[in-house]
Amino acid sequence: MATQTSAPPKQDLSVEQKIQQFRELFADAPELGKKALENALHELKSQASDLPPAVESAGRVGARLGKVSELTIIVPLAPGGAKRLRGFLRLLRGNLSQGANKVGTLHNMRFVFFDNDTRLLFATAFDGDWDTYIDDFVAKIPDYLDIIDSAWEGWPGIRSPGAKDYLIKHQITAEGWYVAHPDLTVAETHRLKRIGKAVDEFLDKIG
Amino acid sequence: MTTLEQTRTVQDRVAEKVKKVRELYADAPEVGKVALEKGIDALKLELAAATQRESAGRIGARRGKVSELTAIIPLEPGGGKRIRGLLDLLEGNFKGADVVGTLHDMRFVLLDNDTKLFFATAYDGEWDAYIDDFATKIPNSMDILFCNCKGWPGIRSPVIKDWLVSHQLTADAWYVASPNLTVAETKRLEKVGAAVEEFLDKIG
């Protein structure tokens, strides 16, 4: 993990030291990568010296940038689980908007089957802290979760005290996490949409 | 306007689907079967609201204006170490992504003891245009990151798109909270919101 390195904290490194580390890191990279690194050094220099808000933790697990966090879970599927879940999602035409809108803190969410339907990848972008987010799911759409997650090998049920441990065990924190609008929650985006509409109406009236 | 007949058609369609879901879950674990029955009313609403599946073009799902790209790619030996080191040195800084301008979010996740990269983005519009944007706006950043993947042909290679398609997986479900907002439109709304606050401050 990135946190296990014994190197000094990154913010203490000068830009030149960082560039040196980039080069060391790419010493045994494919030729194409080495060349690209040299081409991009001036961009990297400006990136390394002009830092945006740092990526933080979403709480127990996961990365967060500003107000927006990432959750990435990979689970083994129970026998027959892929068939059932695929069929379920197909009947919904891949649309889970009613339930997801209800949670209210979900920016986006995807379900992807891989490794010949033996594993499922579940990835979301959400607002704030991990524990609160999971609690929201539990409080607002517990049945949905169980319908979907019962395809997962060993899923204990969302009301089980072991549910969060199960999720943490299968969650993998992203090494890189980018969000275009890190200061906008789902609720704030909805508010801005309403303001935008009101302004348009206002301008129409006085126009 | 919804005629009585249309309502009936929707109801029939939903009833048919509910039947199918029940069949599908006949051999599900108990926790799933119970949840299905408890959640059946909410599920009916969801089934009635389900719209046509949309595509991002060559590959990937789209909801309104927002598309998903999901790829799982085997890494070169040492590739995981390099990607981790690179992202660590950049401290999560992706100015390049701002330059592309159509990217809502993006994540890099190392899987299976650093032997694979899971790469996922939410972006605006069509797949082909999106890849073209990466290739023209941040070609070097693309090569630096993805040269660590097995068989990466280079972003300028004529076969780059075929290579990407061969590693991309289309999501079976894709949800977006504000499907009608592109990155650019969200930026505009942020400005409108700030202007409105200033305006209200001034007259307040």
User: A178 at the B interface (CB within 8 A)?
Assistant: yes
pLDDT at residue A95, as a whole number:
80
CB contact under 8 A, B190 and A150: no
Indicate whether B37 pLDDT > 60.
yes
* Residue range A6-12: mean pLDDT, rounded: 54
pTM of the model as a whole: 0.87
| Domain at A56-170: CATH code | 3.30.70.100
Determine the Cα–Cα distance for residues A205 and B187; give it in Å rounded to an integer: 24
CA distance B93 to chain A (A): 7
Q: Which architecture characterizes domain B55-167 according to CATH?
A: 2-Layer Sandwich (3.30)
What residue spans define the domains of chain A?
Answer: 2-49, 56-170
Per-residue confidence band for A174, with pLDDT thresholds at 50, 70 and 90:
very high
A29-80: pLDDT as tens digits:
888 888 888 888 877 777 766 666 788 899 999 999 999 999 999 999 999 9
Choice among A166-180, B62-76, B77-91 with the minimum mean pLDDT: B77-91
Task: Tell how far CA A109 is from the center of its chain.
Answer: 9
What residue spans define the domains of chain B?
Answer: 4-50, 55-167
Residues 6 or more apart in contact with residue B159 via CB below 8 angstroms: B153
pLDDT at residue A2, as a whole number:
44
Positive/negative CA dihedral, A9, B96, B145, A40: negative
- A94: nearest CB among B81, B84, B172: B172
Q: Is B117 helix (H, G, I), strand (E, B) or coil?
A: strand
pLDDT at residue B4, as a whole number:
66
Indicate whether B20 pLDDT > 50.
yes
C-alpha distances out from residue A187 to A52, A56, A83, Å: 23, 21, 35
Indicate whether B162 pLDDT > 90.
yes
Eight-state DSSP code of residue B2:
-
A15-36: pLDDT as tens digits:
788 888 888 888 888 888 888 8
Q: Can you name the residues that pair with A57 across neighbouring β-strands?
A: A63
B85-124: pLDDT as tens digits:
988 888 777 878 888 899 999 999 999 999 999 999 999 9
- B21: nearest CB among A88, A97, A145: A88
Residue B120: phi and psi, rounded to 5, are -140, 135
